[in-house]
Amino acid sequence: MVNLSIIYYSATGNVHAMAETAEREAGDWGADVRLRRAEELAPDAAIDSNEAWRANVEATKHIPTASLDDLEWADAILFGTPTRYGLPTAQLKQFIDTTGPLWQAGKLINKVVGAFTSSQTSHGGQESTIIALNNTFYHWGCIIVPLGYTDPMMFEAELGNPYGASHAGVNGPVGEKTRIEVALQVKRLLGVTDAYKKGAAQA
């Protein structure tokens, strides 16, 4: 059994839709999955200024907020975030900034990790957002597993981001092609994690 934590932040719902897809695909694969959201930090005035943002906040209240236990428990971790000026959101970063005790205790070493993102446009900072998250994973001592061009479908239009599954909001809500990309990433992440766990057990 592979333990997978999916930890994400979503404002208007696109990253949430990707996270739900990841949860479903991981469950079908046979993983034990925890879906967790980063706590909202924005004031109500900002949230209420965007109808989709408020709707997503209300629709996802039932999802538990991420905790350090979710990281320690996991064999693999998949992070999701919208891009903000080419960087992860403050909400996800705030959670990451609480991980010092786990990092200092060496409890994040060799976790298998990946990331996915959404931006308004296809060149709106998707790659730099995932690379920025990778900087944290280097410090943790994780095993970073990119999506890569690991399936022929990755050469099709609207897929093809080897860094991690990505969605462009200008194309509308998360659709089938994005879900395919998420599914490919989840299967690769879990496959590598499974192989690593088996190899480590035999070492």
The predicted pLDDT at position 159 comes to: 74
Buried b (16+ CB within 10 A) or exposed e, 145-170: bbbeeebeebeeebbebebbbbbbbe
State CA 115 to chain mean position distance: 4
pLDDT single digits (tens) 130-175: 999 999 999 999 999 999 999 998 887 667 789 999 999 998 999 9
In sequence order, which residues have a C-beta less than 8 Å from that of residue 135 and are 6 or more positions away? none
Domains of the chain: 3-202 (3.40.50.360)
The predicted pLDDT at position 157 comes to: 64
Per-chain mean pLDDT for the chain: 95
